[in-house]
Amino acid sequence: MQFRPKMFHVKHHDTTENKEAVTAEEERAPEQDVESPEPEVTEASGVIAEETEQRGSGDATDDTASTAPAPGKSARSGSPLAGFSDTPLARELSEITRRRRAIEAEDLPVPSKTRVFTIANQKGGVGKTTTTVNLAAALAKSGARVLVIDLDPQGNASTALGIEHRSETASVYDVMINDVPMADVVQKSPESDLLFCIPATIHLAGAEIELVSMVAREQRLRSALDAFLAERDEPFHYVFIDCPPSLGLLTINAFVAAREVLIPIQCEYYALEGLSQLLNNIKLIERHLNPELNVSTILLTMYDSRTNLANQVAEDVRQHFPDQVLDTLIPRSVRISEAPSFGLSVIGYDANSPGSLSYLEAAAEIARRGAPIAQQ
């Protein structure tokens, strides 16, 4: 599949039109230059949302920001929360409550056969690790047994799942280079009894070179994973392999081990460059090394609805890949970026934040869609 990013009709910083747009944007959200507004959903705000829901939150298209009475000063002042119901914050909290309830109400199906995903994009910093960890945590929360294989020497997925990965820890390096069984290196994440991780240590940085001279160098991860999955009494429902930002032998091993590729795309212009190369590489792997490989899922990440560019990138990617792109967009979110420093997914860190709900919704879509027909 050939994909050429469109030249967007977005004017860059030097045009008057754009300056005006930016100024208008700043006026609307002076302190939220980059991050989307993200209300903290505390117990109290949950109560507000509940109350808001009971009263009905009014017409969502109303611009009530300037006309809403100050909290507590409403004519309906029987309750200290009176007047909140028609503020933008209350509407947002109400929406979060609605989303949370919808997620909680749904029983997600688990696949009959393990679905193995490689999360790949040779561009750095597009949200591969964040997506791996949070989808894995979201699916584990829904009752699926999930394995994350950290195949990036940076070890970010291991960190985010609270997994030990100091240099002396047995890791995916030992699996690939020293034929150590995965069962000997797998660790359970403190976040969930259903969430496991094969950690990466700094040794993996040398593996690209060491693999070059090895027999069946592209198949090493696949062989180890197949053996591990075959001997498990309790099968894994999902495996997510987090790739480094390159198309070297580690990533090739991930493509050979997987059946599905999930490509996270950051909603920014440069994020689209290199996508054709990635897709061509996947085609080559499919042709020569793994005929089952299939780009099943594309997830738009770090979406900021206030920018025209994010909207245009999202629209363009949807046009090119209508079947693969998930409906759910992952917003830019402070909570998502804070979570790894606590050794947690955003779901473990702040379950009711918009970022967490988005990953739960994306995971639900993946579960509902099921594996592509050929694999079932």
Ligand X SMILES: Nc1ncnc2c1ncn2[C@@H]1O[C@H](COP(=O)(O)OP(=O)(O)OP(=O)(O)O)[C@@H](O)[C@H]1O
What is the closest distance, in whole angstroms, from the C-beta atom of residue 301 to Mg ion in the complex?
Answer: 12
Between 150 and 260, whose beta carbon lies closer to Mg ion? 150
What is the closest distance, in whole angstroms, from the C-beta atom of residue 159 to ligand X in the complex?
Answer: 10
Q: Does 57 bind ligand X (CB under 6 A)?
A: no
Q: Which residues contact 330 (CB under 8 A, 6 or more apart)?
A: 127, 131, 299, 300, 301, 302, 303, 336, 355, 358, 359, 362
Candidates 72-80, 201-209, 252-260, 331-339; binding stretch for ligand X (CB under 6 A): 331-339
Could you give the CA distance from residue 17 to residue 27 in angstroms, rounded to a whole number?
Answer: 15
Question: What are 327's two structure tokens?
Answer: 């409906």
What is the closest distance, in whole angstroms, from the C-beta atom of residue 96 to ligand X in the complex?
Answer: 16
Q: Does 336 bind ligand X (CB under 6 A)?
A: yes
192 binds, among Mg ion, ligand X, none (CB under 5 to 8 A by kind): none
Q: Does 308 bind ligand X (CB under 6 A)?
A: no
Could you give the CA distance from residue 244 to residue 239 in angstroms, rounded to a whole number?
Answer: 16
Between 90 and 241, whose beta carbon lies closer to ligand X? 241
What is the closest distance, in whole angstroms, from the C-beta atom of residue 56 to ligand X in the complex?
Answer: 31
86 binds, among ligand X, Mg ion, none (CB under 5 to 8 A by kind): none
Q: Does 332 bind ligand X (CB under 6 A)?
A: yes
Binding site for Mg ion (CB under 5 A): 128-129, 156
Question: What are 211's two structure tokens?
Answer: 């693999």
As beta bridge partners, residue 119 has 242, 262
- The residue number with the shortest CB distance to Mg ion is 129
332 binds, among Mg ion, ligand X, none (CB under 5 to 8 A by kind): ligand X
As beta bridge partners, residue 263 has 298
How many binding residues for ligand X (CB under 6 A)? 18
What is the closest distance, in whole angstroms, from the C-beta atom of residue 341 to ligand X in the complex?
Answer: 9
Reduce the secondary structure of 95-125 to three states and give it as a string: HHHHHHHHHHHCCCCCCCCCEEEEECCCCCC
Between 346 and 367, whose beta carbon lies closer to Mg ion? 346
150 binds, among Mg ion, ligand X, none (CB under 5 to 8 A by kind): none
Could you give the CA distance from residue 127 to residue 119 in angstroms, rounded to a whole number?
Answer: 9
Could you give the CA distance from residue 259 to residue 255 in angstroms, rounded to a whole number?
Answer: 8
Q: Give start and end residues of each alpha helix (H) in the chain.
A: 16-28, 43-55, 88-105, 128-141, 156-160, 172-178, 207-212, 220-231, 249-257, 275-288, 308-320, 334-338, 346-349, 354-369
Q: Does 362 bind ligand X (CB under 6 A)?
A: no
What is the closest distance, in whole angstroms, from the C-beta atom of residue 161 to ligand X in the complex?
Answer: 13
Residues 143-182, interacting with ligand X (CB under 6 A): 152, 156
> Mask of contacts with ligand X, 88-127, x by CB under 6 A?
------------------------------------xxxx
Between 72 and 124, whose beta carbon lies closer to ligand X? 124
Residue 15: CB atoms within 10 A of its CB come to 11
Applying CB under 6 A, among 25, 337, 343, 372 the residue interacting with ligand X is 337
Pairing relationship of beta strands 146-150 and 238-242 according to DSSP bridges: parallel
Q: Does 219 bind ligand X (CB under 6 A)?
A: no
Q: Which of 161, 197, 188, 196 is nearest to 339 (CA)?
A: 161
Q: Does 275 bind ligand X (CB under 6 A)?
A: no
Per DSSP, 298 falls in state: E
